[in-house]
Amino acid sequence: MIYSFLIKALETYGRPVTTRELRTFVYDRLPMCADHVAPHLVVLLEHGLVTRRLDTEKRAVYWDAEKPYATPKELATKHPTLFEDSVYYYTVSREVS
């Protein structure tokens, strides 16, 4: 899930990350998910799980998450719709592998 990648990227960089930085971070770990970063960030924003800041000077959008970070169990309990696509992905990936 992109939220987990965002948390790992925030911890790695030690600061909010740009969309491009996060996409690269995800691509380096799971290339097949990199194209889904931007749409998933918008969904996370709509659920209030992340914040974004536009830097017009650098022409970049920075993403952050409030601490303490939500655990997967908390996310599944409070925001079950976030996992609907993921359930399909994990079912298919098990069948393929």
Per-residue pLDDT of the chain (97 residues; tens, 9 = 90+): 799 999 999 999 999 999 999 999 999 998 888 888 999 999 999 999 999 999 999 999 999 999 999 998 898 889 888 877 665 455 545 555 4
Is the pTM for the entire model greater than 0.85? no
Fold of 2-69: Arc Repressor Mutant, subunit A (1.10.10)
Contact status, residue 79 vs residue 49, Cβ threshold 8 Å: yes
- Domain ranges across the chain: 2-69
C-alpha–C-alpha distance, residues 15 and 62, integer Å:
9
Distances (CA, A) of 7 to 13, 47, 97: 10, 16, 27
Contact 8, 19 (CB under 8 A): no
